[in-house]
Structure 1
Amino acid sequence: MNDVRLNRPAARGAAVALLLAAALGLAGCQTAAISDIATVEEAQGSTENISSLTAVIERNPNDPEAYNVRGFAYGRGGRYTEALKDFDTAIKLNPGFYQAYANRGLIYRFLGRNTEAIADYNRSIQLNSSYDTAYIGRGEVYRTSGRTQEAFNDFEKAIQLDTTDPRAYHRRGLLYQIRGQHDFAIEDFSTAISMSGGSPEPYNGRGLSYLARGDEDNAFADFNTAIGLNDKVAESWANQALIYERRGDKARAAKSYARAVQLDPNYKPAVDGLSRTKTS
């Protein structure tokens, strides 16, 4: 019965519009934890492995920076308990170490301990009111907690500080997007793209805003670029499928939705899209 209705253009358009709305809503909830921890590592300027960092600490047991660097290495590897211990030690050795507070706040956020995360970001900002990373981190806690105005203010502050971190523009773009301010969103996503280079997330974000404006060709180009950059992201495949579905190409849509479901069986826009487009 559903397949029969979807063969009618008006009904199919309504279903696709609902999928676009769902995709836009989920885009506003992205966390992008991996890119966050990668940014921490780049900011600190270390690619050494944990064993090498431990050797540094053994030679310099009172150096807070050594613990801070090993802490984010632990965080990158998902070893959050060890990361917290190292950041605790770094802060104990240097109570004014605002970077360590922000780094510990990031780990707390990954663990879902948002109250502690905000407290650490607040302390980091108290110690250095120009530290853009702390505003971005706190803004992300606010954003994923539904405190969108506070999140917007923090991303705005980081941008006013001339941040070179693309997350500030990407996250502010997501907030513009859920407000329906797609021109502003596209501008922010484009800035994030120019800063980040190889990240698929802002391409997906910009593509959805293009699509919301009715610019299907640019949306399709962005979704395809996102897949080319990283073909393991379910959202990118579901977004590509959305274009195929809008164009009435159910076979290609179903194939892309199926790939998205394979990557993330819980990604609802892909699950719903596949149920509409697959053939028996």
Structure 2
Amino acid sequence: MEQMNRKHSLAVIILILVTTVAAFVFVYREKLGNVARNLSPLKQNESAKTAEEFFAKLPKAECNFPDDGVAYQSAMEQVNPTLCSCVKNEQQRSSCEKSAVELVKYQAIVRQLDAERCKELGSEQYLKMCQQAIASRLEFMANDPLLLAEGYMQSGNYAKASDVLSAAVQKDDKNVEAILNLALAYAARGLAEHSENVYVDKALELVDKALAINENSPEAYRVRGYIFEVKPDFDEAVLNYTRSIQLDQNYVLSYVGRGHAYNMLGQIGSALGDFNKAKELDTKKEYPQVYSQLCRLESQGPLLEEAIADCSVSVEVANGGDKAEAHGMLAGLFLRANQLEQARMNVELALSISPNNPNILLTSSSVLEEQGDLDEAKKDAERAVTLDQTRAAGYLQLGNLALKQGNYDSAILNGQKALSLVDSDVAVLAPEKASVKQECYTLLADAYAKKGDAANESKYREMGSTQAE
């Protein structure tokens, strides 16, 4: 998610969160005495030794606890579900994991100001605690529209963020910070609602307004770069991020933005260069996007150890959607190593924060598929497609699941839909489009083979072979 470039004093909010989470932890500690989860797994032709070496590099909890009770308590107090793996008793460990995931969910709901999701916490006591914490945050933020909008942006509620910021701009039409944050909110809303044609022009008009007030604003050019990514026009995005960097050579977010635009253009070396420059500048680890972007890029190549380290940092320092994405990427790494329990745990953590993230739902579907639960895997893939019907990956996953379940007509229908989306799918980078098409051809050929349709099987095998050349 795009970040508002604003450093507020969050002491009161942190106090609210710490206080309410401490109360939540106390409730879970009472249970202790009663109790005394979009990458494929390693291919089958890769050796067991390779999987073991891969797994050895993945992050693990340090279990320096004298007994299960202390490990359980530490997991609750630190809101760190990975410490539950240190609980040796299977029943206690399961209880610890469920409780810790619930705590992560609670924190996310309060940070995101999403009172409706308080109902997900499972009891009247937790519901009231959650609602009270959100009410306290809203009361504190009421006189600071930029901070309030930032809270709504974290939850993906771009409509409310836009309303709050629009009112702020109407009150003071020379407030460059409010103007640019409203531009970001419009762009993010357009992307989320697939209504870029409605909001991109509005956002660009706001940036022009900000530049008329301050023509040398590096933030204005960074925001314009992001808006052009949403449009999408990645070449224009690079130009604007570059202008922002020329105005401020230490601007971390502009390096992250330009790196992302380079990545979308398939210029991987340039993308890595910008992400690593941002990492070098981020000495206090204030920008989780740096590490999540690096993790995503590094995990696609040979830089496995670097990917794991950067993903772990992102999980540690991020909040909201960034934290969910980081857990989702870690789940993908565990899935590649065929460590399904750890993959499941990270998927659950990711969904507890962002339950409607299509990428995470597809990772969850892949984990469930590997666990043999094809029906639940199908449900998560269907949810992902319902939330975003422009992505080839969702239909491809549904097609592969249908093939495994013997529903060959559905496999063909979803395979053809996936194939039709590849060229327009901005989530599939230019260098990857050929390989994704080849996956679609393979799915279609296999489905037709199962139906006994030799002509269509041969057709798609040949298309796949041609695509691979």
Question: TM-score band, normalised by the shorter chain?
Answer: 0.7 to 0.9
The equivalent position to 1:71 in structure 2, one of 173, 183, 195, is 183
Amino acid at match of 1:256: D
> Is the contact between residue 184 and residue 223 of structure 2 (CA under 8 Å) also seen in structure 1?
yes
Q: Which has the larger radius of gyration?
A: 2
Q: How far is the alpha carbon of 1:207 from its aligned partner?
A: 1.1
CA distance in 1, matches of 2:316, 2:170: 38
> Is the contact between residue 136 and residue 158 of structure 1 (CA under 8 Å) also seen in structure 2?
yes
Amino acid at match of 1:270: Q
> Is the contact between residue 182 and residue 212 of structure 1 (CA under 8 Å) also seen in structure 2?
no
Give 1:55's aligned residue: 170
CA distance in 2, matches of 1:180, 1:241: 25
The residue correspondences of 1:18-97 to structure 2 (distance < 5 A) are: 35-36=1-2, 49-58=164-173, 64-65=176-177, 67-78=179-190, 79-97=199-217
Q: How far is the alpha carbon of 1:64 from its aligned partner?
A: 4.3
Secondary structure (helix, strand or coil) at the match of 1:49 reads helix
| Alignment RMSD | 2.7
> Is the contact between residue 382 and residue 394 of structure 2 (CA under 8 Å) also seen in structure 1?
no
Q: How far is the alpha carbon of 1:105 from its aligned partner?
A: 1.0
Secondary structure (helix, strand or coil) at the match of 1:146 reads coil
1:141 equivalent to 2:261? Answer yes
1:222 equivalent to 2:367? Answer no
The residue correspondences of 1:114-129 to structure 2 (distance < 5 A) are: 114-129=234-249
Classify 1:73/1:210 alpha carbon distance in 2 versus 1 (closer, same or farther; 3 Å).
closer
1:176 equivalent to 2:301? Answer no
Identity %: 25
Classify 1:232/1:277 alpha carbon distance in 2 versus 1 (closer, same or farther; 3 Å).
farther
CA distance in 2, matches of 1:82, 1:248: 47
Deviation by residue 1:46-96 (Cα, 9 ceiling, x = unmatched): 9872442333345xxx56445434433443443221221121122233222
Deviation by residue 1:96-136 (Cα, 9 ceiling, x = unmatched): 21111111111111111222211111111111100001001
Amino acid at match of 1:240: S
Give 1:276's aligned residue: 403
Q: How far is the alpha carbon of 1:259 from its aligned partner?
A: 3.5
Stretches of structure 1 that go unaligned for 5 or more consecutive residues are 1-34
> Following TM superposition, where does structure 1 have runs of at least 4 consecutive aligned residues deviating by more than 4 angstroms?
37-42, 62-66
CA distance in 1, matches of 2:201, 2:263: 25
Classify 1:41/1:235 alpha carbon distance in 2 versus 1 (closer, same or farther; 3 Å).
farther
How many residues are treated as equivalent by the alignment?
A: 240
CA distance in 2, matches of 1:188, 1:156: 11
Give 1:207's aligned residue: 331
Classify 1:221/1:86 alpha carbon distance in 2 versus 1 (closer, same or farther; 3 Å).
same
Q: How far is the alpha carbon of 1:224 from its aligned partner?
A: 2.0
CA distance in 1, matches of 2:404, 2:375: 7
CA distance in 2, matches of 1:111, 1:37: 18
Q: How far is the alpha carbon of 1:268 from its aligned partner?
A: 3.6
Stretches of structure 2 that go unaligned for 5 or more consecutive residues are 9-160, 191-198, 408-469
1:233 equivalent to 2:357? Answer yes
> Is the contact between residue 260 and residue 270 of structure 1 (CA under 8 Å) also seen in structure 2?
no
